[in-house]
Amino acid sequence: MTEHAVAELPVANAPIPAAEPRVAVHSLDAYFGAQRVVRGATVDFNEGQVTAIIGPSGCGKSTLLRCLNRMHETVPTARVEGEVLLDGRDIYAREVNAIQVRRRIGMVFQRPTPFPTMSIRDNVVAGLRADGRKAPSRAEQDEIAVWALQRAALWDEVKDRLRDSALALSGGQQQRLCIARALATKPRVLLLDEPTASLDPLSTQKVEELVYELRGEVTIVMVTHNMQQAARVSDRTAFMLHGELVEVAPTSRLFTTPGDERTEAYITGRFG
């Protein structure tokens, strides 16, 4: 490899042994300047499963999530120590391109973020040329747009409006559009940062149903302030407190027989 070569991450959707996690986090510390906001987090996110991250406001949930695709480093003074492995490869290795990482590990934010000057169709395919590679042909982009909108359960609602502005959609539709945009690059992992926090109950239900349906196809890590939501859609749940990853367990077990008294205090409403 030449000095300036960019290391290729493994091919998207490459099979991995069933016992191996898709993402493995080892002794992760995240900082804003001198302030350490994630403290020694170690956790695996398993292939094809939904993992929810819960905890009180300010505990480091969203920061941990942003560390999983190198979004944390886009903030001035922010830095990370430790490892985040995608299929065994450290995404923070010097030779790994951050944009390529974000194609493999997509992200959807708390508030819908459609590109305001683009049509619905163009929003979906916007990420296909984000890393400087030659974009697929227009026909191929159209096929990808249809596929992604179908997977995001939005196709039937917008199939006759693809040239319209994305801003013409409702808030819930815009959020599913953002999920379609993330899915269009065929990521191995999808990060959702409180994706229903700004949505009405019906839109929330549709996004939750979508998350549930995507399990098995893509590894999903979702930050949520809503414990009932975590219980409804996730296979495993992680509880964070003061930057520490206190406990990770199958969701049913964590909510019924948590192993740490701090987890029990939080889920029973004694604080938070």
- For residue range 24-73, what is the model confidence (pLDDT) as tens digits? 999 999 999 999 999 999 999 999 999 999 999 999 999 999 999 999 99
CB 132 within 8 A of CB 100: no
pLDDT above 90 for 133 = no
pLDDT given for residue 131 in this prediction:
54
Alpha carbons 84 and 33: distance in angstroms, whole number: 20
What's the pLDDT band for 232 if we cut at 50, 70, 90?
very high
CB 198 within 8 A of CB 111: yes
> What are the sequence ranges of the domains in the chain?
21-267
What's the pLDDT band for 272 if we cut at 50, 70, 90?
low
What's the pLDDT band for 132 if we cut at 50, 70, 90?
low
Alpha carbons 128 and 50: distance in angstroms, whole number: 25
pLDDT given for residue 19 in this prediction:
44
Q: How many CA atoms lie within 13 A of 87 on its CB side?
A: 18
Determine the average pLDDT of the residues in 187-212.
94
pLDDT given for residue 271 in this prediction:
75
How many beta carbons lie within 10 A of that of residue 208, not counting itself?
A: 18
pLDDT given for residue 130 in this prediction:
62
Alpha carbons 224 and 5: distance in angstroms, whole number: 38
Residue 146 identity: V
pLDDT above 50 for 15 = no
Q: What is the CATH number that goes with domain 21-267?
A: 3.40.50.300
Alpha carbons 267 and 261: distance in angstroms, whole number: 10
- Predicted structure pTM score: 0.89
pLDDT given for residue 127 in this prediction:
87
With a CB cutoff of 8 Å and minimum separation 6, the contacts of 250 are: 235, 236, 237
pLDDT given for residue 2 in this prediction:
40
Determine the average pLDDT of the residues in 130-148.
85
CB 240 within 8 A of CB 212: no
Q: Which helix (H) or strand (E) holds 143?
A: helix 138-151
pLDDT above 60 for 4 = no
What's the pLDDT band for 128 if we cut at 50, 70, 90?
confident
